[in-house]
Amino acid sequence: MARISTNKNLHDANKAKRDEFYTQLSDIEKELKHYKEHFKDKVVLCNCDDPRVSNFFHYFSYNFENLGLKRLIATCYKNQNIDLFSEYNSEKAIYLEYNGDKNGDKIPNLEEIGINHLNGDGDFRSKECIELLKQADIVVTNPPFSLFRDYVAQLVEYDKKFVIIGNINAITYKEIFKLIKENKTWLGVNMGRGISGFIVPKHYELYGSEARIDSSGNRIVSTNNCLWLTNLDTAKRHEDLILYKKYTPLEYPKYDNYDAINVDKTKDIPMDYNGAIGVPITFLDKHNPEQFEIIKFRKGNDEKDLSINGKCPYFRIIIKNKKL
């Protein structure tokens, strides 16, 4: 029993640790430049962000006029200290509102930013934060990893547009895959190494191929395992994947438990096969809903993992070419 509880504590600690990854301005700029036209006259909410330090708040406040925003709101969780990594020592939280430049210097000054107190701890699920959510058109942030399912469910419930960061594994959560399958959400532009790293607290060990301390002294880990998830349209989503290979039964065996051929690399999808095709989950980074239809995830007709001669390849998504 003691062992189980220790494991659980460790598990919770690991989860909480992954929640303290802060997004770099350069990664935000690299993604959000693809969505500029969506932001005109819109209210943007960053609801997992201490606005005094969040690079999301920084990006939107400095680009307020450039994007033509209507209003920017950011809420802070449990913390009133201007220190990125202080340990949530206050239960009370604040939210900030910015309505654009007033004094003509094109810079968000303290006098132009309204600081308001929340009654509770700033949990995105709290009533007062939901009231702010209702006022928003587009939600943009990197939410806590451990609450990702709840976070997305709430955005869907309130019918919000969003651009958020998640772990690549999130695609395999059944709730998230369902949204992708139904074309209610899709992958943004950058994923994996396309997100260059996250700022972590001082006591974190640095890891990853691009781990570094940047010129401002920020400690950066390169996780290479995240993606952007959105329901705002991007040009990338309308680009056809160019296919080169021809189907042969020898090169593309069928699964034991589903009438579909197996493809190990997205680029090897045969151009001339009009039945069901199993592809790796990374296919979703190239998915154009006008070209392919997503049919099923991972399981065969018997609801067991897809297998070939009794062996299971990695997770597969079943798709079908709509253009044949």
Ligand X SMILES: C[S@@+](CC[C@H](N)C(=O)[O-])C[C@H]1O[C@@H](n2cnc3c(N)ncnc32)[C@H](O)[C@@H]1O
User: What is the contact surface with ligand X in residues (CB under 6 A)?
Assistant: 19, 21-23, 48-49, 54-56, 77, 122-124, 141-144, 147
Q: By C-beta, is 3 or 202 nearer to ligand X?
A: 202
Q: By C-beta, is 123 or 285 nearer to ligand X?
A: 123
Q: By C-beta, is 100 or 201 nearer to ligand X?
A: 201
Strand order in the sheet with 316-321: 260-262, 276-280, 316-321, 292-297
Identity of residue 312 = C
What does the CA dihedral 228, 234, 238, 244 come to, rounded to 10 degrees?
-40
Bridge partners of 114, per DSSP, are 97
Residue 90, token pair as written in the block: 């206050």
CA distance 323 to 274: 9
User: Taking the complex as a whole, how short is the minimal distance between the CB of residue 218 and ligand X, in angstroms?
Assistant: 11
Helices 148-157, 174-181: axis angle to 10 degrees equals: 40
Q: By C-beta, is 216 or 309 nearer to ligand X?
A: 216
Q: Are the C-beta atoms of residues 89 and 62 closer than 8 Å to each other? A: no
Residue 317: how many other CB atoms lie within 10 Å: 25
User: Taking the complex as a whole, how short is the minimal distance between the CB of residue 116 and ligand X, in angstroms?
Assistant: 16
Q: By C-beta, is 52 or 237 nearer to ligand X?
A: 52
Q: What angle do CA 218, 220, 223 make, to 5 degrees?
A: 160
User: Taking the complex as a whole, how short is the minimal distance between the CB of residue 50 and ligand X, in angstroms?
Assistant: 6
User: Taking the complex as a whole, how short is the minimal distance between the CB of residue 129 and ligand X, in angstroms?
Assistant: 7
User: Taking the complex as a whole, how short is the minimal distance between the CB of residue 2 and ligand X, in angstroms?
Assistant: 28
Q: By C-beta, is 17 or 299 nearer to ligand X?
A: 17
User: Taking the complex as a whole, how short is the minimal distance between the CB of residue 162 and ligand X, in angstroms?
Assistant: 13
How would you class 69 by CB atoms within 10 Å of its CB: exposed for 0-12, middle for 13-18, buried for 19 or more?
buried
